[in-house]
Chain A
Amino acid sequence: MIPEEMRSALARKAASAESPREQAIDVMFELQDHYGYMTDEAMEEAAGILGMTTLELEELATFYDHIYRSPVGRYVIHVCDSAVCWMEGYQRIIDYLCQRLKLTVGGTSPDGLFTLLPVCCIGYCDRAPAMMINRNVYGRLTREKIDRILDRLIEHSQFHEME
């Protein structure tokens, strides 16, 4: 169950659109942030708010890159595999991430913090190779830079756990 306040805010958002289903992605993004991914319960909540059947919503949820119907880590790493990033060392970046985080492409690290997904093209071709973590973009990646980024995220998540 989502908090009542959140439900009414989402309902207001849906009502303000030309038609409620226009807000399908925004509503799913918010519920996804709340649940961690689009759980079956989240799908039903969203469908109820949008006046859609869960099947209609499923058609969208399973189509889009940034809606997750299975559990993902707290941080979703999208590594750009466009032709430009491919040329500039995408494979080295993927190999290093897999080795350091002990996961495979499409998988989640054993600590549950990181999920690694390929994506194309994130539009940072002038800063290739590039990746995106929870919609923040990082370009001109090197091993050292990746280490710095991951260390900061791990530190951040530990800090939150202590709270």
Chain B
Amino acid sequence: MYPQVLFRNRKPDRIVTLDEYRAGGGYRALGDVLRKRSAGEVCRVVDEAGLRGRGGAGFPASKKWESVPADGAYPRYLVANSDEMEPGTFKDRVLIHADPHTIIEGMILAGYAIGASKAFLFVRPSYESSAAIMERELRIAREAGYLGRNILGTDYSLDIVVHRSGGRYICGEASALLNAVMGKRPNPQRPPPYPTVKGLWERPTVVNNVETLANVPHILRNGPEWFRGLSRSKTPGTKLFCISGKVSRPGCVELPMGTRLNEIIEEHAGGMAPGSEFKACLPGGASTYFLTRDNLHAGMDFDGMAAVKNRLGTGAVIVFDRKTCLVGATLNLMRFFARESCGWCTPCREGLPYMRDLLERIEEGEGREEYIPMLRLMSRQVWNSYCALAPGAASPVESLLDHFADEVHEHISQKRCPFKD
């Protein structure tokens, strides 16, 4: 059993209460920080700990906070991103349902570090239960003096509200999310200006993933050295890994950064499901590359995945077995991405449906060999899109062609899907 940080209080069947959270040392970091430490010190401790964003991009949290200009305007805002719609990913849901106060305390501390007076927790409609839990626990935190005016009798005031989304994948992208909060169409916006300079209502705004924020109280309470020591790699801390697909025990587990993929699958997910044999996995959600058996020894962290030309993404491992058609799986992913394109820029709006149609023809037995270079070309072209949605969508396609070309050729030569009866 590895040290549990975010899941330290996790109960098998219910949410951790405020009293239980406090009994385990919860909200101690908040009192300590607000009374004794400056905002700059909070940034420094988090910087020394080397906390990197857990939403996918892995940007250092302290660097993001410090990019709010010292003379930046007020009010300032913090947004906790739990708009989790990346297929295969459900860690934010599990975290909110396990220990909501670790997120609330993390949000208050991050808010203090950047001088925010209001924070939003962005929740998607599929997670209505998460929104309701957070609203209840925010009320409890407010009544206990941890939130609202003059927190714990200090000069610092912060309010947190739950913002419900209408539900679209693009809302998870930070700049699109900010538009969504302001009641605008959630198109992404390319910097500059960066949201930390001009975000919500043109005021400095920091967007962090909820898993990132949940680490903050623990870092401030236990110190940077402790946080670094949790990891088995250069990326400090632990990570919530979601495992789904053809494994015996799908679920969400907290493991040290750098834990090897084969250990995650074999030990923590109980190995392959009965009667299934491993073929491939997407290691970090739907917008990462298919990874084959040859690279299962790779460590799950930013460097470990980069070493095998992949990405950690959200740390959501989707396992596919020998009986699953990867052309069909890639088509499913491309249907999703094409449907979820916000339509703002041409490469994404036009390119993804084009790729979907080519894959559809191949899967339906109407494919031709020349579709393969066309798919390759389109995969490169969509990198010209405005945000990361389309390049993410191209990742499974590129790796399908790299590692499972035989399967694609077989569909074309047999004029049918070889996996269908």
Q: A residues engaging B (CB < 8 A)?
A: 18-26, 28-29, 50, 52, 59-60, 63-67, 78, 81-84, 86-88, 119-128, 132, 135, 137
Asked whether A123 lies within 8 Å of B90 as measured between CB atoms, the reply is: yes
List B contacts of A121 (CB < 8 A).
85-89, 286, 336
CA of A24 to CA of B286, assembled, Å: 30
List B contacts of A18 (CB < 8 A).
118, 200-201
Asked whether A135 lies within 8 Å of B183 as measured between CB atoms, the reply is: no
Which segment, of B64-72, B218-226, B238-246, B397-405, faces chain A?
A: B238-246
Task: Kindly provide the distance from the CB of B314 to the nearest chain A CB, expressed in whole angstroms.
Answer: 11
Task: Kindly provide the distance from the CB of A90 to the nearest chain B CB, expressed in whole angstroms.
Answer: 9
Task: Kindly provide the distance from the CB of A81 to the nearest chain B CB, expressed in whole angstroms.
Answer: 7
Asked whether B90 lies within 8 Å of A125 as measured between CB atoms, the reply is: yes
Main secondary structure of the interface of B (DSSP, over half): mixed
CA of A34 to CA of B173, assembled, Å: 31
CA of A52 to CA of B166, assembled, Å: 17
Asked whether A126 lies within 8 Å of B244 as measured between CB atoms, the reply is: yes
B164 within 8 A of A: yes
- Of the candidates A25, A122, A126, the one whose C-beta lies within 8 Å of that of B252 is A126
Q: B residues engaging A (CB < 8 A)?
A: 84-90, 92-93, 118, 125-129, 163-169, 181-186, 200-201, 242-246, 250-252, 282, 286, 316, 318, 320, 324, 328-329, 332-333, 335-336, 339-340, 342
List A contacts of B318 (CB < 8 A).
83-84, 125
- Of the candidates A59, A87, A124, the one whose C-beta lies within 8 Å of that of B324 is A87
- Of the candidates A65, A84, A86, the one whose C-beta lies within 8 Å of that of B125 is A65
List A contacts of B163 (CB < 8 A).
22
Task: Kindly provide the distance from the CB of A124 to the nearest chain B CB, expressed in whole angstroms.
Answer: 7
CA of A78 to CA of B128, assembled, Å: 14
Asked whether A87 lies within 8 Å of B329 as measured between CB atoms, the reply is: yes
- Of the candidates B128, B186, B245, B339, the one whose C-beta lies within 8 Å of that of A84 is B245
Task: Kindly provide the distance from the CB of B114 to the nearest chain A CB, expressed in whole angstroms.
Answer: 17
Asked whether A63 lies within 8 Å of B186 as measured between CB atoms, the reply is: yes
Report the 5 A-B pairs with minimum CB-CB distance, sorted nearest first: A64-B166, A21-B183, A125-B244, A65-B167, A82-B87
Question: Quick one: given A18-B118, A84-B87, A126-B244, are A59 and B183 in contact (CB under 8 Å)?
Answer: no
CA of A24 to CA of B324, assembled, Å: 42
Asked whether A60 lies within 8 Å of B167 as measured between CB atoms, the reply is: no
Asked whether A60 lies within 8 Å of B166 as measured between CB atoms, the reply is: yes
List B contacts of A86 (CB < 8 A).
328-329, 332
List B contacts of A119 (CB < 8 A).
126, 167
List B contacts of A120 (CB < 8 A).
85, 87, 169, 336, 339-340
List B contacts of A67 (CB < 8 A).
166
- Of the candidates B85, B129, B166, B320, the one whose C-beta lies within 8 Å of that of A66 is B166
Most buried by A among B87, B126, B183, B316: B183
- Of the candidates A52, A83, A135, the one whose C-beta lies within 8 Å of that of B87 is A83
CA of A28 to CA of B167, assembled, Å: 13
Question: Quick one: given A21-B182, A84-B245, A132-B126, are A126 and B166 in contact (CB under 8 Å)?
Answer: no
CA of A132 to CA of B285, assembled, Å: 21
Question: Quick one: given A22-B181, A63-B186, A66-B167, are A124 and B118 in contact (CB under 8 Å)?
Answer: no
List B contacts of A63 (CB < 8 A).
166, 168, 185-186, 342
Most buried by B among A18, A60, A121: A121
Asked whether A125 lies within 8 Å of B250 as measured between CB atoms, the reply is: yes
Asked whether B164 lies within 8 Å of A126 as measured between CB atoms, the reply is: no
Task: Kindly provide the distance from the CB of B306 to the nearest chain A CB, expressed in whole angstroms.
Answer: 23
Asked whether A83 lies within 8 Å of B332 as measured between CB atoms, the reply is: yes
CA of A162 to CA of B128, assembled, Å: 29
